[in-house]
Structure 1
Amino acid sequence: MNTTSNSIRPFRIDVAQGEIDDLRARLAGTRWPQELPGVGWSRGVPTSYLRRIAEYWQGAYDWRAAEERLNELPQFLTEIDGQQLHFAHIRSEEPGARPLLMVHGWPSSFAEFSRIVGPLTDPVAYGGRAEDAVHLVLPSIPGFGFSPLAESGRGDLLRVASAFAELMTRLGYDRFLAQGTDAGAGIVGLLPMVAPGRVIATHVNGPAPAPFGPPLDASALSGRERERAEAFNAWQQDGTGYLAIQSTRPQTLSYGLTDSPVAQLAWIIEKFREWTDPAAELPEDAVDLDDLLTLVSLYWFGELGWSSAHSLAEGMETFRRFAPSAAEAPTGDEAPAEGGWEMPPMPPASVAVFAADMSVRSAVDPYGAVGTWNEYEVGGHFPAMEAPEVLVADIRSAFRGA
């Protein structure tokens, strides 16, 4: 990998007041669509609901307070292989702390993890044990956060995994733990391949079967496995529209997401309605509304609607390219993968499945590579925001003794 500069520069979020004023003006000037009676959420986010949230975003939400809270996390920029990478790096004061690379997914950012930084880096203060402490590295995937896409191809998950491995090298971490969600889970799964022997153990939450693969045979399953398979099959039929357009026509979608904050809000909040704890009726019942609007604001101010869509499209290309070779080398021992290279030995792997997840073990772990598989009846796609105590406890347990 060509690493043109090893410099690491401090970074602080500082959105210009003019951009905040422009956001409020755009929200105030929104041209709202009509709403058909009786359809509720079945055809997308209802106008009556989104209008209420947009009014709160415009008048009551305090971006400056959110900015100040995020800036409590030490943040940095570095350039790897011509791509600017943004990351937060929080070192634990515990002498035995180990490094943990934690990778977000879509539609999210490093900010999703802000409220679990303390429990992970200072576990004793939160009822944990000193040996659970980690030095936390929270990178922004290219196209997200403050890692702007430098060029086409930067969303390739193999390339991202290699860049993150180089980032850990620059921070002085030869070996490290890795955790991820959504696209971050895919990157974490590739890290042991691009950095053999360096990943101590992995933990992911909510892995789902291949979105554009065949439906699952739910009749062959029972209990929660069957319920999740049925949910996955229903999602394939009714819930993949966002993925189809982002992975095929990201530029066309980009105009609305870049020009209209309400479009960006709707694009993200729909997923918080569909992917969070099923017991929560509305997104703000599952997560703190201000935290949700902080994520949306990061997308708006950073113009991430277009870049995250392109990043996702390229990530899906990686998935399609890699999936056949993964099937050909299931054990990770000596079987050659596509292209002639050998799959290196895999580190211990753990999975946490939350209530809204569609994780069917027989589909996502057909060869029994996952050592620990825990299922919970709370939370969903954003457990660091929905069920932080449960996620932190599962991460501690997964990495204890690794």
Structure 2
Amino acid sequence: MALLSSLKHMSVSRRTLMSGIAAAGLSAVLLPGTSEAADVVGAASEEIRPFKVEVSEAALTDLRQRLAETRWPDGETVMDRSQGVQPARLKELVGYWQSSYDWRKAESRLNGFPQFLTNIDGVDIHFIHVLSRHQKALPLIMTHGWPGSVFELLDVVGPLTDPTAHGGTADDAFHLVIPSIPGFGFSGKPAAAGWNPQRIAAAWDVLMKRLGYNSYVAQGGDWGAIISDALGRQAPDGLLAIHVNRIERATTFPSDAAQALKTGGPAPDSLSADEKVIFNEARDFLNNGFGYAAIMGTRPETVGYGIADSPAGLAAWLYDKIADWVFTPGDPERALGKDAILDNITLYWLTNTGPSSGRIYWENAMAGAKLTAVKVPVAVTIFPGEVYKPPKYWLSKAYPKLIYYNRVSKGGHFAAWEEPELFSQEIRAGFKTVRT
């Protein structure tokens, strides 16, 4: 099936979605954090296959054995994180991973949600699909980023699908679709080049139409924001709006500041004092925190050998950026908890998607910059721990239909993971004006 083939739009209804449950042999489940049964959605289609996570005990035994046999590098020659993840910190995490961490709890949590696979353009797409019990719920597709996964978004399922149990109203409800990006998690690994954010965005529209949604909204952070932006530029029929909590610098930086950043010059005099702070933060990130992207954008296969063979190496590779980007820099355990971090890292290990997930950086570099404006309404939330925090007036070129902009007081790059209730409130507020 061609990726951009037109699909017949079906109006979504409770009866249509419930028929998918019967077709898949599923039943209602309890949403996390609620006491009421909520409908779990499959599609009454041969193209949608139920999925359950079932990791063999042999794979977990192998992981523990590899962790026990880790060969550690020499210690750093500085007293801070400027050379990367500090051995003492990683040894503590790996020791817990090897001796105390329980993947089965994470597996059970995933299997508490309805999961499916569907093939789009030759690649299996894994996704979670939960139907709200509220009749006027708005369909929403949410996309994770790197070094994250669907685990980033699980804590917002309850607040978004059952808002009345989380401080909202029935009019705030969403039907939720959470896919794994190709090459991540339980989605398939593309066997050929070309799966860049534009292609993934088009696949997401196919997915939503295949599930029967003739209108929907999209949300993302990190790569999820880039994919949502791409979807907004494509503006397929039925896409009502997007919300992002990560902004693409190339499309929003003032031209003189962008040029100064490119050439390594100082902040232009045209910038205000507050704008120069933003400029200096961006320059520091490019100079000191962008190496991971440069490597994966040029040599993802080379770094892949180490992270495919060593779980401790994979943990260091992912932990380094998690630690950088949380609201508590250098202390991600305080923001997320040790088990949550290891749920995510273990998913990468068990699926061997450390190498394949990195290829999205290469694919994006090969595709080139897409600097055209997003054509649909856009909502933006700026979290204070985010790498780039542009003011509202910088967004007009990229988002001429900006319908919502808010700066919140807590949370970092992994907003849904770190602050699920606040994040959910922002999603409700951001999409409020596009509900019909």
Compute the TM-score of the two structures, normalised by the length of structure 2: 0.83
State the shift of 1:208 in Å. Answer: 3.9
Whole-angstrom CA distance in 2 between matches of 1:243 and 1:32: 24
Structure 1 residues 71 and 219: alpha-carbon distance in aligned structure 2, compared to 1, 3 A threshold: farther
The equivalent residue for 1:146 is 186
Match of 1:336 in 2: none
Q: Deviations over 1:77-109 (max 9, x none)?
A: 010111111100011111111100001111111
Q: Distance in 2 between matches of 1:356 and 1:125?
A: 28
Are the aligned partners of 1:165 and 1:195 in contact in 2 as well (CA < 8 Å)? no
State which drifts further: 217-226 or 97-106: 217-226
How far, CA to CA, are the matches of 2:274 and 2:337 in structure 1?
A: 28
Runs of 4+ in 1 over 4 A off after TM superposition: 3-6, 211-216, 362-365
Alignment correspondent of 1:291 = 340
| 3-state SS in 1 of match to 2:126 | strand
Count of matched residue positions in the alignment of Structure 1 and Structure 2: 381
Compute the displacement of 1:365 (Å). 4.4
* CA–CA separation in structure 2 for the residues paired with 1:124 and 1:197: 30
Q: Report if aligned partners of 2:326, 2:412 keep a CA contact under 8 Å in 1.
A: yes
- State the distance in 2 between where 1:24 and 1:291 align: 18
Q: CA RMSD in A?
A: 2.1
Query: In the alignment, residue 322 of structure 1 is paired with which amino acid?
Result: K
CA distance in 2: counterparts of 1:184 and 1:208, whole angstroms: 11
**Residue in 2 aligned with 1:343?**
none
Q: Tell me the equivalent position of 1:381.
A: 413
**Equivalent position of 1:350 in the other structure:** 379
C-alpha displacement at 1:347, in angstroms?
2.2
The aligned residue for residue 63 of structure 2 is 23
Instruction: Note if 1:68 corresponds to 2:108.
Output: yes
Equivalent residues of 1:209, 1:364 under 8 A apart: no
Does 2:120 align with 1:80?
Answer: yes
Cα shift readout 1:214-253 (whole Å, capped 9, x = no counterpart): 4553653346543232111111111111000101001001
Equivalent residues in 2 for 1:273-312 (5 A)? 273-277=323-327, 279-312=328-361
- Structure 1 residue 158, shift from structure 2 partner: 1.4
Whichever residue aligns with residue 379 of structure 2, its letter is S
User: Secondary structure of the residue that 2:384 maps to in structure 1?
Assistant: coil
| Pair 1:2-2:2 in alignment | yes
Partner of 1:97: 137
In 1: Cα distance, 2:196 partner to 2:46 partner: 22
Query: Is the 8 Å Cα contact of residues 235 and 376 (structure 2) preserved in structure 1?
Result: no
Match of 1:372 in 2: 404
Structure 2: distance between partners of 1:101 and 1:385: 16
Query: Which TM-score applies when normalising by structure 1?
Result: 0.89
Distance 1:157 1:185 in 2: 10
Cα distance, 1:373 vs structure 2: 1.7
The residue number in structure 1 matching 2:304 is: 254
Q: Which amino acid aligns with 1:95?
A: Q
For the residues of structure 2 that align with 1:143 and 1:31, how far apart are their CA atoms?
A: 28
Percent identical pairs in the alignment equals 40
Offset, 1:312: 2.4
Deviating more after overlay: 355-364 vs 296-305: 355-364
Match of 2:390 among 352, 360, 370: 360
Paired residue for 1:322?
Answer: 370
